[in-house]
Structure 1
């Protein structure tokens, strides 16, 4: 990806508190890792949701080379071409939103709360259960054939 400069990565505002919970509980090292994780899930289930009321979760410069490769791969697999870093990140943001929506609805349903303003947070006291549930989900997914 060419110059990332001041490029930012966004998610829907309703997921911002969830990213903060993930970060606060050190489940992933940084928001960009969880963003890519969610994007991969969104890609796997072909689930993309437009980003509404955008909230910045990280600067694109914090993406690792592996993260950038995954973003390019998701974009290329869907569009059969590459584009600017900004266009590819904006496109993959929708898959990250879709992946997180899948996780919240299908995998983490009993561990999250949707507040009156539609923001999603981890239920207080369920942080360890969240880590365990995500770990079990990843283990199950890696044991499926084909991965």
Structure 2
């Protein structure tokens, strides 16, 4: 998934995972199964298959000019492991968590700077009050 610079959403990841799940234990599947996932939108299905080819997860068999889908698709070695590790959805969720953690870290750093400033201001106020107290004690004493 990190090979290409692309924007994946939760729904796109789900569709990609659904395509790969269609294989089950089979090495090859007919693309009519993929067409069902996309409710007959073979142009869109073709785009998703192209992405999976670019990611080296599948290969196309029996491409015919003028038809958006090949006759069959085959899965590359490593697809089972990819899916066992959670597929696209798991990687999407991890990336989202990393982004949120990064934002939280940045927010904490900003809060830390703000609090340090507050501490410095309060230290100066304490010093001023201590000085004023000494002045008053000297006048009374």
Normalised to the residue count of structure 2, the TM-score between the two structures is 0.29
Higher relative contact order (CA 8 A, sep 6+): 1
TM-score scaled to structure 1, two decimals?
0.28
The structure number with the bigger radius of gyration is 2
